[in-house]
């Protein structure tokens, strides 16, 4: 018990420190004291510094925190429900569905969606396409879950849906212009800077709602660890639980992918890091631990991306595998 309290405290302190580092790190060096004055409305210096902190770094750090926590929760619930250590949000093709939606807008429609009723272009078109693509795949998986009773088969179906989406994206890339391919490639690298200060309340509310909904599933998930037959004998409908879980995972993955692009390894590796730290499968401890680990690791990855400073920004999906891949290799070797 004391060990868990110490771990929770260390993770909370780490999040605060990393959040602060995200605010002061970048191409423009701003002292931490001035950052605090800007956040509390006491700053009377350069207006450009206020814009950098309030319009760029603060929303980006908050997005990283929420996105890391959301994707980590998704990974933990999927790994528990499907009893597979390699299950994650991207395995079910939800991220691929978002990518297909963005590819259709960027590569096929030139970044603009026009109808007789309205015209949507730019960031809003990409955001809408990613969200609708992820939701469409989630709805498809939910429909197939009514036909497929076996969780392993449903997992395989999800992987196949992801392959079909990736195939369609490859065809669109082949016939697209060089500019369209480049734009899609940049979106696919992932970026926590896609949420502006005006969109932060909307993004935060949806993420927090999904995370809070996952906490309501702690008891059923713990029972599910003992096996589906035991869970059914206690009155837990595993099929209903699986569908509720897929809805939560689908919405969280859709909103994070729509705003930030496909983020690799966060949802897959963070639950394993939490298990290694807390040495338990009890979701009363593991779920909040995973939330804190996800927030801390996402902030760390975002901080590493900005370390080069004036020389440029490292793509996010070039950093996350450096942390996630060794963890997955370790887990696979440990379980043989």
Task: Write the DSSP symbol of residue 1.
Answer: -
pLDDT attached to residue 260: 86
Domain covering 2-335, topology: ABC transporter involved in vitamin B12 uptake, BtuC (1.10.3470)
Closest CA relative to residue 266, chosen from 297, 309, 306: 297
Tokens representing residue 196 in the block: 């502006």
pLDDT attached to residue 129: 80
Q: Share the mean pLDDT of the chain.
A: 83
Strand ranges in the chain using DSSP code E only, listed in sequence order: 112-114, 119-121
% residues pLDDT > 70 (the chain): 93
Instruction: Report phi then psi at 56, rounded to 5.
Output: -125, -65
Q: What is the per-residue pLDDT across 92-137, written as a single tens digit (0 to 9) for each?
A: 777 888 888 888 887 776 656 555 454 555 667 777 788 888 888 8
Instruction: Tell me the C-alpha distance between 156 and 3, whole Å.
Output: 38
Tokens representing residue 288 in the block: 């909040």
pLDDT attached to residue 336: 62
Tokens representing residue 115 in the block: 């109808």
In total, the chain counts a number of residues equal to 336
pLDDT beneath 50: ranges in the chain: 116, 118
Give the pTM: 0.88
- Residue 294 CA, chain-centre distance (Å), reads 9
Tokens representing residue 297 in the block: 């690791």
Burial 311-322 (b: 16+ CB within 10 A, else e): eebebbbebbee
pLDDT attached to residue 88: 80
pLDDT attached to residue 310: 64
Instruction: Tell me the C-alpha distance between 5 and 281, whole Å.
Output: 16
Domain coordinates in residue numbering, the chain? 2-335
Instruction: Tell me the C-alpha distance between 266 and 288, whole Å.
Output: 16
Q: What is the per-residue pLDDT across 281-292, written as a single tens digit (0 to 9) for each?
A: 889 999 999 999
pLDDT attached to residue 98: 82
Q: What is the per-residue pLDDT across 53-63, written as a single tens digit (0 to 9) for each?
A: 888 889 999 99
pLDDT attached to residue 292: 95
pLDDT attached to residue 285: 92
Could you write out the DSSP letters of every residue in 243-264? Answer: HHHHHHHHHHHHHHHHHH----
């Amino acid at each position: 018990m004391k060990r868990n309290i110490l771990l929770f405290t260390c993770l909370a302190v780490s999040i605060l420190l990393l959040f602060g580092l995200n605010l002061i790190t970048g191409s423009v060096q701003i002292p931490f004291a001035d950052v605090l004055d800007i956040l509390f409305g006491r700053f009377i210096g350069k207006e450009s510094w206020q814009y950098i902190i309030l319009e760029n770094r603060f929303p980006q750090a908050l997005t990283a925190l929420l996105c890391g926590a959301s994707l980590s929760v998704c990974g933990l619930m999927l790994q528990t429900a499907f009893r597979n250590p390699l299950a994650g949000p991207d395995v079910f093709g939800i991220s691929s569905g978002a990518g297909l939606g963005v590819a259709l807008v960027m590569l096929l429609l030139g970044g603009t969606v026009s109808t007789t009723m309205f015209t949507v272009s730019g960031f809003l078109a990409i955001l809408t396409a990613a969200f609708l693509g992820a939701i469409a795949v989630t709805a498809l998986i939910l429909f197939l879950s009514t036909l497929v009773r076996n969780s392993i088969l449903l997992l395989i179906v999800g992987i196949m849906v992801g392959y079909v989406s990736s195939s369609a994206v490859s065809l669109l890339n082949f016939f697209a212009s060089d500019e369209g391919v480049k734009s899609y490639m940049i979106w696919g690298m992932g970026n926590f800077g896609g949420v502006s200060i005006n969109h932060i309340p909307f993004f935060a509310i949806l993420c927090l709602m999904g995370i809070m909904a996952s906490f309501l599933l702690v008891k059923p998930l713990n029972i599910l660890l003992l096996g589906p037959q035991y869970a059914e004998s206690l009155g837990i409908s595993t099929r209903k639980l699986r569908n509720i879980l897929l809805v939560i995972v689908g919405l969280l993955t859709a909103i994070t992918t729509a705003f930030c692009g496909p983020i690799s390894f966060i949802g897959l590796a963070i639950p394993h890091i939490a298990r290694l730290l807390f040495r338990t499968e009890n979701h009363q401890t593991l779920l909040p631990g995973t939330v804190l680990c996800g927030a801390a690791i996402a902030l760390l990855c975002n901080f590493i991306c900005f370390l080069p400073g004036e020389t440029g920004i490292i793509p996010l999906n070039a950093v996350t595998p450096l942390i996630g891949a060794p963890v997955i290799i370790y887990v696979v070797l440990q379980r043989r």
